[in-house]
Amino acid sequence: MEKIIDENTQGNTLTLEAREGNSRKLYIESYGCQMNFSDSEIVASILAEQGYNTTNLLEDADLVLVNTCSIRDKAEQTVRKRLEKYNAVKRINPKMKVGVLGCMAERLKEKFLEEEKIVDLVVGPDAYKDIPNLLKEVEEGRDAVNVILSKEETYGDISPVRLGGNGITAFVSITRGCDNMCTFCVVPFTRGRERSRDPQSILEEVNDLAEKGYKEITLLGQNVDSYLWYGGGLKKDFKNASEMQQATATNFSNLLALVAEAQPKMRIRFSTSNPQDMTEDVLHTMAKYNNICNYIHLPVQSGSTRILKEMNRQHTREEYFALIDKVREILPDCGISQDMITGFPTETEEDHQDTLSLMEYVKYDFGFMFMYSERPGTLAARKLVDDVPEEIKKRRLTEIVNLQQKHSAYHTNRTVGKTVEVLIERESKKSDQHWSGRTPQNTVAVFPKENYKPGDFVLVKINDCTTATLLGEAVGYSNNH
């Protein structure tokens, strides 16, 4: 899942339309991946039933919740700093309760209560439905912890309140957890086993979003390609129970088609794809429906087959190239992005050169690049020594970031002179005279407002660009939507 928040900045706060009759105030802040943002919406929905309205003023809150990320050490340090800030507020307002949600809650469990004295509540990613009970315990003066991971919980029955977003794009989670056990990654430990959500409830959520005027949805999971629902499809598709039982399972490609057909006017995206699980079927489904955006976030982590093996990624460099070739063959205009790690244990200069040459082959549209950060409890932490010095990790990171910028610029420059479809999402950050939106390939495009408005699908003639942004002018509405 691509990162939408810089780990150095304050997290995103979520504010929803106030519900009449609710008198308590919830301040909820999220760090990390899109799944956390989506989860915070679920938590806010659960708490709306308990009399809480959201506030974006920390000082006003009765309850402060922080949804946390453990993916790298730096992410955890950021949260610890925020907890210090909450502590300062709590000194003025001792009635305020503080809760930690998400991956750090799961990783540190009770330790949080011992180490961070200000924390009243610790809730893991699968225990959010228990928050009302846990709050009662807190009110009775006890510390409350629930970090039980579930094999079933998908929150499929909770419809998240989303009025805090832009009203145009939304995330819909389709799987939770991850079974891949990449050796560097803490997610399988903090988010538990992979489970897929009932396609019926996914479709209901998508239809509901369409009714509310949303124009784009992103199907979300740690590894969307391994989505599998054994329930035999949708009840309404079958004449009777025995026919239903005989039906085959719904895989990711089937689900994509179901969603694309249910809402042909909406843009459909998904994230994240794992190269080892991505099938050709998915590519054909993307080609078949023009409302599915031609964009794939396809993290590779390293270009060296030896390192990939150490990482427990289930493919070689050559297999990855073969997949990229397939993507280019079936979807010639597909945007592709990466996640990359530099300085994984034992990574040599030669391995690093393999990463650079892999990037040269693929020429990603953009990417998210990180220095390896050892996470306690992971296989890499237990079996391998974090032996690449910080300076070398940094230098390699700079090299791949520079190369990525060159490739990003290559793509934006190639688009100059073309007309692309843009869904307007918001005002440009740099100018209140311009709209900002994204192309199907997920590149940001900016253009003068004229008479258009957020939520419009517009054709934009691109006449200039920066490394990562397309600049142009609208030439009319797109009739694809």
Binding positions for ligand F3S, rule: CB under 6 A: 178, 180-182, 185, 187-188, 222-223, 274
Report the residue from 27, 112, 155, 184 that binds ligand SAH according to the rule CB under 6 A.
184
Do residues 111 and 76 lie in contact, with contact meaning Cβ atoms separated by under 8 Å? no
Name the one range near ligand SAH by CB under 6 A: 371-379, 394-402, 407-415, 455-463. Answer: 371-379
Distances in whole angstroms, Cα of residue 109 to Cα of each of 34, 136, 144: 22, 19, 10
- 372's contact among ligand SAH, ligand F3S, none, with CB below 5 to 8 A by partner kind, is ligand SAH
Please tell me the distance from the alpha carbon of residue 375 to that of residue 368, in angstroms, as a whole number: 19
Report the residue from 103, 172, 255, 341 that binds ligand SAH according to the rule CB under 6 A.
341
Report which residue type is found at 373: S
Name the one range near ligand SAH by CB under 6 A: 89-97, 180-188, 282-290, 450-458. Answer: 180-188
Question: Which is closer to ligand F3S, CB of 149 or CB of 234?
Answer: 149
Total residues found in the chain within this entry? 481
Question: Which is closer to ligand SAH, CB of 126 or CB of 421?
Answer: 126
Report whether the peptide linkage leading into residue 346 is cis, meaning its omega lies within 30 degrees of zero: no
The reply to whether 388 sits near ligand SAH by the rule CB under 6 A is no
Distances in whole angstroms, Cα of residue 292 to Cα of each of 24, 31, 302: 41, 28, 28
Question: Which is closer to ligand SAH, CB of 118 or CB of 341?
Answer: 341
| Torsion angle of C-alpha atoms 301, 306, 307, 310, degrees rounded to 10 | 120
Report the residue from 162, 176, 215, 375 that binds ligand SAH according to the rule CB under 6 A.
375
Is position 103 annotated in a ligand binding site? yes
Give the closest residue to 380 by CA, choosing from 350, 341, 337, 354: 341
CB 301, min distance to ligand F3S, A: 7
Question: Which is closer to ligand SAH, CB of 75 or CB of 121?
Answer: 75
Question: Which is closer to ligand SAH, CB of 187 or CB of 209?
Answer: 187
Report the residue from 175, 302, 337, 373 that binds ligand SAH according to the rule CB under 6 A.
373
Do residues 433 and 449 lie in contact, with contact meaning Cβ atoms separated by under 8 Å? yes
Site string for ligand SAH, 301-320 (x = CB under 6 A): x-------------------
Is position 293 annotated in a ligand binding site? no
Restricting to residues 276-305, name those near ligand SAH by CB under 6 A: 299, 301
The reply to whether 275 sits near ligand SAH by the rule CB under 6 A is no
Restricting to residues 106-145, name those near ligand SAH by CB under 6 A: none
For 427, phi then psi, to 5°, come to -70, 145
Both tokens of 328, joined, read: 């280019």
Restricting to residues 52-91, name those near ligand SAH by CB under 6 A: 71-72
Q: 241 exposed, middle or buried (CB, 10 Å; 0-12, 13-18, 19+)?
A: exposed
CB 379, min distance to ligand F3S, A: 10
3-state secondary structure of 49: coil
Beta strand 169-173 with 175-176: parallel, antiparallel or unpaired? unpaired
- 188's contact among ligand SAH, ligand F3S, none, with CB below 5 to 8 A by partner kind, is ligand F3S
The reply to whether 372 sits near ligand SAH by the rule CB under 6 A is yes
Question: Which H helix or E strand runs over 137?
Answer: helix 131-139
- Maximal C-alpha separation, the chain: 65
Do residues 146 and 134 lie in contact, with contact meaning Cβ atoms separated by under 8 Å? yes
Is position 465 annotated in a ligand binding site? no
Report H helices in 289-388: 305-310, 317-330, 349-362, 379-383
The reply to whether 397 sits near ligand SAH by the rule CB under 6 A is no
- DSSP letters of 213-257? T--EEEEE-TTGGG-EETT-S-GGG-SSHHHHHHSPPEEHHHHHH
The reply to whether 1 sits near ligand SAH by the rule CB under 6 A is yes
3-state secondary structure of 175: strand
| Binding site per annotation, positions for [4Fe-4S] cluster | 33, 69, 103, 178, 182, 185
Using CB under 6 A as the criterion, which residues of the chain lie in contact with ligand SAH when the complex forms?
Answer: 1, 71-72, 184-185, 187, 222-223, 272, 299, 301, 339, 341, 370, 372-373, 375
| Binding site per annotation, positions | 33, 69, 103, 178, 182, 185
